[in-house]
Structure 1
Amino acid sequence: MSFDLLSAVKGLFTGDVVSQAAARLGESETGIQKAISSIVPTILTGLLHKAGPQGDATSALAMAREAVGANTPSVISGALQQNANGWLNKGTEWLQGLFGNKVAAVTTAVASFAGIKASSAGTLLNAATPAALGVAGEHAADQGLNAAGFLTFLNTQQDNILSAVPPGFNLAGLLGLGSLGELGKKLSGMADNIGARVQGSPVETTRQVAGSNRWIWSLLLILVAIVLLWYLARGCGGGNITDDVATDSIAAASPNAVDPLIAPVDNAEVAIPRESIKVTLPDGVTLNAYKGGIEDQLVQFLKDDSRPAGKDVWFDFDNLNFKSGGSELTEDSREQVQHIAAILKAFPKAKIKIGGYTDRTGDSLANVQLSRARADAVLSSLQGMQVDADQLLGAEGYGAQFAKAPAGAPDEERKKDRRISISVREK
């Protein structure tokens, strides 16, 4: 019997795994089961796309090989319960490798389809990605497949996978395709080309290999000559040659500057002086702020009748910090929260929601919980400053759901994902 990749991955999500996931995420088993039914073909479609139309079968195979070991029910359960062996972190990174900046849209589609929270959908995606890739990687290892063979194998699986994608997901659109059928045609065409090359003339193949070898030897000789010249130049220069050493300004900064889990948006520009300005509110109150900071942006937005409010309108705090590992605001952060309270009092029609975000490192469920706790802390502070309750529409923690940088990216990139934001829903 031929190998069925889709069925093999689905088989990992046993009744026990579904029950444990439901208990861990606070969802119904029906919702979890429905989410898995959409997640598995979605991940595998992403793999088809990466190996085929994206033309990156080598990276696709490398991801699958690295994921071998994650493809057992017990490992999935361990990842969901306590991020065992860091599989959730790896899943986050690989998911971005498959879908790029469309991960949030995929997460939203799964949540909507299954009727579960977006945070739960994100955790399931992070856990299922290593498992799905691991099944493909194990099969590739068993069959001794190289990148070309892996692409050919995936082509044999495409019909089952693509037909299992739930209708209405618009997965083709997220991948930049007109339809999933277009993905299938491109994949088949690439696989056919590989087959044609394999069946080519033995004489011509020998001639090409021989030519390639001569080219490689020429390149090696050039590289050896370059290294030799560099070595001689270093030797002749003696101690007069000074190596430039780049200084990392972030690493040299005060260790007490920020909590590494959620940092202000503008920390990447800490070394650049910011321009201080006065922001005057309609009621005559004047705030000491920074040009381009949240006070400046928020007041300009609220004054501009041509710019509508909505759930997609967000402004990031730029001077907000928490005590390390917790949700308690530092004393110096209260000033910016007070500014927001003053702005809301000056614009009584404005209604806002608070959102908390983290980067992709750490346990995804813990990140959601911490981001929610910190968003709640800001909301509570605003409530304590006598802001009209009707203007505060609540707080939500999104964890790493909308993070852009992969878990393995330098902190300089990841810290932009750690933030607290305000969404203006009415003005």
Structure 2
Amino acid sequence: MTTLHNMPEDIKNFLRTHSSAPTGPLAAEHQVGVQLAISRVADLVMSTFEELAGQPSGRDSLWNAARAAHTAPQPDADADLVKTALDDRYHGKVHSVATATGIQTASVNQLVERVSGAALSIMGGLVAQNSWTAQELSQWLRPQPGAASAAGAPLAAEFAAASTAAGAPAVASSWVARHANALLLSVGLIAVAEFGYILGTRTPDAEVAAVSSAAPALDASAPSGRPYTAVPVANLTSAADAARGKTAVPVVLKLKNGVRQIIGSNSTESKLYQFLIDPTKEVDLLNPSKGWIGFDRIYFESNKAILTNESLWQLSNIASILKRFPAAKVKLGGYTDSSGSPYINLRLSQERAKAAMATLVSMGVPADRLTSTGYGALDGLASNDTQEGRSLNRRVSMQVVQK
């Protein structure tokens, strides 16, 4: 049976099954931004429904709307229920989603309509299947602390800040977080050491500072099948550096408006930042093979140019760094291993570099500061004779072409 834990994934599946092709502003949006926005909108819609479920009149309205939606599924149904419940908060919520995901507010409005219709249809199915009353639907939406439906929910905030001076995790006040407190508390200690997160501090002076507190070693693997679009708690040490026996030393990068990034000294972010901040490091215009910096935490779906959700974290970090240095221009290069057709590999590498570039643009980096190209199986980092070597060769790198 559908649970609160898997509602976001069920909503996405419903939209894939029932939705027509995007129209209006939504049709012009980049798919990465849209998928990220859907997860945030699902959070917004479900938190609003939870709020309604706590009110006697709202409980009945929600129950009736769910039954009607199940009878005639309308993924493009209006979002009046959500708009009415949020009232003057609605536009601020929509604007926040648009700002965080890089898509237009008009597109977010469309997604609220679609996600609301999908969620109501799914809940209507549960009402019909279980003969729930309005009160029972409310109890499903508002389980008691420790209820089984909430157990195991993953960390649920794209680009969430995750540390405090005392080392305690910051718990987001979202629908997901409220239903995932148990896991958030356990994940929080790991999140403190993630150090890829953006901290909204306002200290304006030193550019790079070593982090004195010790950080525990973390597992770089990320669980699959998470219901929310979420960036994984990842190791500061890249896979390539780990293979060479190197361990990351945390450093703090000071960016625009007092924003910080805490990352590993061997990370992609640190290498880019150090190159841009150091006046003695110059762009080599005579040797196009020099100065490449490999992304160490972005990935694609197999044989596709579709970035995984895990990749959005590092791209967000890179976007923040490029905003800190507005004169910098960067070239993105895509690479593959040598398996399969050279022509297909070349085209795939081009599309992957283009996808990374489009994501940076959607995150606020001006398009005229970025270029992309694909190199296929050229310039491999390791032998293609092993699975590990082929994995290292499938990558995207960047080169600063102007400081």
**Greater C-alpha radius of gyration:** 1
Larger relative contact order (Cα-Cα within 8 Å, sequence gap ≥ 6): 1
- Structure with the largest fraction of helix: 1
Into which bin does the TM-score normalised by the smaller protein fall?
Answer: 0.3 to 0.5
What TM-score, normalized to structure 2? 0.38
